Homo-oligomer: A and B are copies of this chain.
Amino acid sequence: MVKKVLKFGGTSVGSIDRIQHVAKIIEKEHKNGNQVIVVVSAMSGKTNELLNLSQKISNNFSKRELDVLLSSGEQITSALLAGALINLNVKAKSYLNWQIPIITEGEHTNARIINIKTNEINEYLKKKGVAIIPGFQGISTNGDITTIGRGGSDASAVALAKIFKTDFCEIYTDVDGVFSSDPKKIPIAKKIDKISFDEMLELSSLGAKVMQSSAVQTAMIYDIPLEVKSTFTNREGTKIFGQDNIDYTKSVTGVAYSKDDAKITLIGVEDKPGVAANIFEPLNESQVNVDMVIQNISSDSRTTDVTFTIKRDDLLKTKDIFKKNNNINFEKITYNDNVAKLSIVGAGMVTTPGVTYKMFRALADEKINILAISTSEIKLSVIINEENILNAVKKLHTVFDLD
């Protein structure tokens, strides 16, 4: 007997047929004698449908009421799935977050789970019941419904796995697992069997949307092994766990990319303490998310050049900030709104010499110009022109033996 959290995403429960299919997956786990806690997302499209309703009223819809509104999506799935299980003669029960309760702190639409009461559900599991819990939500300490951000059902699953001390946390989705790159765009991309938390984090923050980053982060902190697998096949998924347990034969695990970026370079910025803060403070205040930041070595001792990337949608806003703000001194500003970020990720990179060179050589062979470079221990990112991105991903895939 093992204790498991199974989490099913929106496409996995996107129709009644699919909910009945999910019920059969759970029935099998239950028949194997496992204690099962199930976390569900809203049926695919549902959250957007509800969000659209609120936006017809106001783009500044009350966040408290938005949480009440959106939480109904997972509530609906929970009831339908519990009903489907009962129909299969599996003892099951939906537990809404206030019934458990799952307590959160922080703002509406962006809360964090801080506590989950376990007694009643543990009793129910011992009596061979399956507990179905709506993901993505909780209640605040003063009893309001909260949600924990888009994709938050992953975070719910990991938090439940942690607090219920389960042996497994399985994330069921519509793909076979985590891929070396986006399989829809890069057909030669391959499913990764095992990956470390760090690599997964780099991959997911770079555009591999299989799992929500903050959930992976929590799993990493509390060392909760995850498995991402498909609801629709019986194949093994991708196991995600601590780096110590992974035997690396490859230096690079995956190639990630994000499009719709823009690059901004401030030339001739005064090189003295506090300048970087002056540059990024107004961006932060205007909620412009800054991704890569590269400060080149000063060409003289007095000034330096600062390059950073943002989402292309934020470019107009950003231009405006630099026009209006007199706190920032620079000689010239240049924009490129047609760039993409390309990254290779691998926990083995740091111990494998020549990875950096190999990447640059591969791009040079394809005559792809590199506009900026940034590195970390397990990641190497470059900014290139957007039109080259798919070509570059394929090339790196081959060069690093991921096909």
User: A interface vs B, CB < 8 Å?
Assistant: 16, 19-20, 50, 53-54, 56-58, 60-62, 64-66, 68-69, 71-72, 75-76, 78-80, 82-84, 86-87, 93-94, 96, 98-99, 143-145
Contact = CB atoms under 8 A, between A and B. Distances in A.
Contact of A83 (B20, B66, B98): B66
B86 A62 contact: yes
Contacts of A54: 79-80, 83
A65 to B, nearest CB: 4
Nearest to A83: B65
Contact of A16 (B57, B80, B86, B96): B57
24 contacts: A16-B53, A16-B57, A53-B76, A53-B80, A57-B80, A57-B83, A57-B87, A58-B84, A61-B83, A62-B87, A65-B79, A65-B80, A65-B82, A65-B86, A65-B94, A66-B79, A66-B83, A68-B78, A68-B79, A69-B76, A69-B79, A72-B76, A75-B75, A98-B99
Which 10 pairs show the lowest CB-CB distances between chains A and B?
A: A69-B79, A68-B79, A72-B72, A65-B83, A16-B56, A58-B87, A65-B79, A62-B86, A65-B82, A62-B83
Contacts of A82: 62, 65, 68
A72 B75 contact: yes
Given A20-B57, A68-B96, 14 more contacts: A16-B57, A19-B57, A53-B76, A53-B80, A54-B79, A58-B87, A62-B83, A62-B87, A65-B80, A66-B83, A69-B76, A69-B80, A72-B72, A72-B79
Nearest to A139: B99
A84 B57 contact: yes
A119 to B, nearest CB: 13
Nearest to A98: B98
Tallying the copies of this chain within the complex gives: 2
A61 B62 CA distance: 35
A33 B94 CA distance: 42
Contacts of A84: 57-58
Contacts of A145: 96
Contacts of A61: 83, 87
A75 B79 contact: no
Contacts of A60: 87
A96 B84 CA distance: 26
Contacts of A98: 98-99
A99 B58 contact: no
Contacts of A93: 64
Given A16-B57, A57-B20, A83-B57, A143 B65 contact: no
Contacts of A72: 72, 75-76, 79
Contacts of A86: 62, 65
A291 to B, nearest CB: 33
Contacts of A57: 16, 19-20, 80, 83-84, 87
Contacts of A80: 53-54, 57, 65, 69
Contacts of A75: 68-69, 71-72, 75
A38 to B, nearest CB: 13
A56 B16 CA distance: 7
Contacts of A71: 75
Nearest to A64: B93
A210 to B, nearest CB: 28
A87 B60 CA distance: 8
A22 to B, nearest CB: 12
A145 B72 CA distance: 13
A155 B393 CA distance: 62
Contacts of A16: 53, 56-57
A219 to B, nearest CB: 29
Contacts of A53: 16, 76, 80
